[in-house]
Amino acid sequence: MRQPATASRNNKNKPSSNLKMTGSVRVRVIRTLLAIQNGQSLSSVLDPLLNSLHEGDKGFAHALLLTTLRQWYALERLLDTLADNNIDEIEVRTTIQVGLTQLLYLEVADHAAIHETVEAVKEIDFAHASGLVNAILRKVVKNTNKFRKKCDKNHSLPNWLAYQLKQDWSEEYSALTQGLRQPAPMFLRVNTTINTVDGYQQALEQADVEAELVEVVSGLQLPNLTDKTDTTITTQALRLEQTTAVSGLPSFAEGAASVQDMHAQLAAPLIHQALINKANADAINDNNGDANQTSNTELHILDACAAPGGKLAHWLELLNADKQSSLFHVKPSENESGDINNSVESRAIKLTAIDNEAPRIGRIHENLERLHLEHSEQIKLNVVCADATRWQGIQESKKQKVDKNEPVFDAILLDSPCTATGVIRRHPDISLLRTEEDVDQTASLQEEILDNLWPQLKVGGYLLYVTCSILKQENVEQMQAFLNHHTDATAIEFTEDCSWGIAQEIGRQCLPIDSESGDGFYYALLHKTA
């Protein structure tokens, strides 16, 4: 999934963009936070920070950085009540917030937190503020419980985002905004082409890694020739009791498992089941002699905005596990004499994956190589660097230029660009980097992509729309607008059997409220009718 690039939204003086990984651990964390406020993402600065430290300091630096980001706006508001005058120097504010994190959330010894933070503000060349830093932190030390409760009382989000969540999720607002301040659990997806879920869970136990099996049930009302048929899909994930480095997971480097959020693991099974339904419907139409609804011996499917490839890999795993299914073999049909033709025709699947950022295309290949999914006799995989708002799949199919989209795909998985507000627990820098204007811009981008891809879907095909956003403008409202403008689109209903998410007028929405549950994802499955 591609996330829109954004700049800093800090209303104080903008910090320097220089990122120097020198000095004490706290100084390096402060400089990393300044870089994030200057518009750099956490993913781009975290590794440089950790790689610059001794092994024994990495855990503390990681906790200090992530916790400060998660509590950023709450700490900022607390700081404004502690200071007698406005503090406009962003470097000084950031240093004090790092000190407050140590005292209120990491339980660092008072004298160590104060002394090291005062020394840090000197080391970043703001020694004139050392007395101020010392005074504020000492004020907090006198009653840390009081200030911790004050900090925890409300949300830790920018006001614009908190207001929008209040509008979208009034009943869940309090639990949601508090949930976004907490760390997210770590989930694994087992590569079932290599091992079973039970087998890998046992391997984890042998490696002293505690993991709990989590089963998520999805129910869909998929159409057949005459009515709708309820279909139930069960997805199995493993939730680790503690976050663990992938180097500590058995056979991870050999492709036995992937790190993927529980709710992200719903995407591939949903579109895979829809593809099976499409293939079966085509076979029935063929047998009925419907010349207008004949199936091709090749199924063509698309993963749009595919990087870094987690959902793509999951779909490939399911396809490889189903090589004896109707997806790969055309069912026997009657010949002209009315006899059953017992010869089963083999069918190939062409899977195209596109993303518009070349470096992220490299990530796709790396992940698929690790999982042993790059090469398959019956699955033709083509990874393309392309803009989903303009890319024409028919060009890839016929190797020729056309002026407009033509239907070529049987199923499309659209992991749509979004503001990623549903994964703030994992990427707390999102709160600092996103702006209110980003929501409108992202919704417009989503609309462009949908309008470009939808004509490329065959009649009877399915498009699964996915975001990791919790804002309705990017989700259910986007789908409502799309259906209003596309009379050949029908929303597939989720049944009451679903064990995840909240039913929306169109689709379902997961919210990151439960500390043991997955991130905030939205799903809507669309069916193309004649």
Tell me: the pLDDT tens digits for 177-204? 999 999 999 999 999 999 999 999 999 9
Classify each residue of 167-187 as buried b or exposed e, where b means 16 or more C-beta atoms within 10 Å of its C-beta.
ebbeebeeebbbbbbeebbbb
Name the strand (E) or helix (H) holding 385.
strand 379-385
The region of weakest confidence among 14-23, 215-224, 299-308 is 14-23
Please report the pLDDT score of residue 321 as a whole number.
Answer: 86
Question: Domains in the chain, please, with CATH?
Answer: 25-154 (1.10.940.10), 260-329+346-528 (3.40.50.150)
The Cα 30–Cα 91 span in angstroms is: 8
Query: 464 phi and psi, to 5 degrees?
Result: -100, 120
Please report the pLDDT score of residue 16 as a whole number.
Answer: 45
Mean pLDDT across the chain = 90
Give the count of beta carbons closer than 10 Å to the beta carbon of residue 509.
Answer: 24
The active-site residue out of 151, 305, 468, 510 is 468
Residues 343-357: pLDDT tens digits?
Answer: 557 788 999 999 999
Averaged pLDDT, 54-63? 95
Please report which confidence band the pLDDT of residue 291 belongs to, taking 50, 70 and 90 as the band edges.
very low
| List of E strands, 18-81 | none
Residue of 147, 97, 86, 140 whose CA lies nearest to 121 = 97
Q: Which residues contact 397 (CB under 8 A, 6 or more apart)?
A: 300, 350, 408
Indicate if 468 belongs to the active site: yes
Residues 310-344: pLDDT tens digits?
Answer: 999 999 999 998 876 778 776 555 555 555 455 55
Is 276:318 a contact under the CB 8 Å cutoff?
no
Q: What is the DSSP string of 433-499?
A: H--HHHHHHHHHHHHHHHHHHGGGEEEEEEEEEEES---GGGTHHHHHHHHHH-TTEEEPPBPTT--
| Residues above pLDDT 90, as percent of the chain | 80
Give Cα separations from 481 to 25, 36, 287, 423, 473 (angstroms).
49, 35, 37, 25, 10
The Cα 121–Cα 119 span in angstroms is: 6
Please report which confidence band the pLDDT of residue 22 belongs to, taking 50, 70 and 90 as the band edges.
confident
Give Cα separations from 108 to 82, 368, 399 (angstroms).
20, 42, 62
In the DSSP assignment, the letter for residue 390 is T
